[in-house]
A and B are shown apart, each in its own frame.
Chain A
Amino acid sequence: MTEDVDTRIQGLVDANPVLLFMKGSPLFPQCGFSARAVAILNHLEVPFESVDVLQDQGIRQGIKSFSDWPTIPQLYVKGEFVGGSDIMMEMYESGELGELLGNKGVR
C-alpha cells in the first residue's frame, strides 16, 4: 500500500519538471501557504503542474513520508525536492529560486 503510493508519487515527480503538491488548484488554492507557493511560481512565470492533495488522501499522507516533510505545499523541480512555502519564499526573495529554475532549464 505504502509502496504503491510512493511509486505513484515518484511517477508524478519524474513526469513533471516543475510539480507543486498543494491544497486546491492554482486558480482556487484552499490554503494560504499553497496560495503563496502558487503566487511565487506565477511571479517567476514558470510553467508548472500541480497535484491537489485534497483530492487524494493516499498522496496527502504519502507525500509527507516521501519527502520527509510534514506540511503541504511541497515543490519538486526536476525530481528534486526544493521545499515548502517558507523555503520557496526565502529563495524567491534572495533570487535563488529563479536561479535554480534557470539552471534546471525549466524557465
Chain B
Amino acid sequence: MPMAADEIEALIRQGIPDAAIEITDLAGDGDHYAARVTSASFRGMPRIKQHQAVYAALGGRMGGVLHALQLTTAIPVEE
C-alpha cells in the first residue's frame, strides 16, 4: 500500500523536528518519492548516519510499505 507524501513528511518531522523537508512524487503514483531533508542536527554526522536518522524516523517503513524513496540529506547553510 503506497504512502501519501504528507504522511512521509509528518513522520520525518516527528523524528527530526527542526527538519526542512521537500518531498517530490517522482512517478505520480504515490510510490516513488524523492525527499530532501535539511537539519542542523545532521551537523558532524557522516552521511550514512544522516540517512539512518531519517530511516529511523520512518520507523521501519523504508524498504517495506515505502519501497522507493530517493533520499538526500543536508545541513542548513550558516547565515
Q: Is the CB of A71 within 8 A of B48?
A: no
Using CB atoms, name the residue of chain B closest to A71.
B63
- Binding site secondary structure of chain B: mixed
Question: Complex Cα distance A87/B47, Å?
Answer: 7
The number of residues on chain A lying at the interface, defined by a beta carbon within 8 Å of a beta carbon of chain B, is 15
Q: In the bound complex, how far is the Cα of B55 from the Cα of A84, in angstroms? A: 12
- Count contacts between A and B, CB distance < 8 Å: 30
Q: Is the CB of B72 within 8 A of A33?
A: no
The 0/1 profile, CB within 8 Å of B marked 1, for residues 64-107 of chain A is 10001111000000000111101100110000000000000000
Contact indicator B48/A70 (Cβ below 8 Å): no
Q: Give bound CA distance, A71 to B55, whole Å.
A: 10
Q: By the criterion CB–CB under 8 Å, are B48 and A83 in contact?
A: yes
Most chain A CB within a 10 A radius of its CB, from B48, B52, B62, B63 = B48
**8 A Cβ contacts from A1-41 to B:** 32-33
**Does residue B68 face the partner (Cβ distance < 8 Å to A)?**
yes
Using Cβ atoms and an 8 Å threshold, which residues of chain A touch B55? 69-70
B interface bracket (residues with beta carbon within 8 Å of A):
10 to 19
Query: Which residues of chain B have C-beta atoms less than 8 A from A91's C-beta?
Result: 47
B28 at interface by CB-CB < 8 Å = no
| Min distance, Cβ B25 to any Cβ of chain A, angstroms | 16
Interface pair A83/B63, CB less than 8 Å apart: no
A70-B71 CB under 8 A given contacts A81-B48, A87-B47: no
Given A32-B68, A70-B64, output 9 extra A-B contacts at Cβ < 8 Å.
Answer: A69-B52, A70-B55, A81-B48, A83-B47, A84-B51, A86-B51, A86-B72, A90-B47, A90-B72
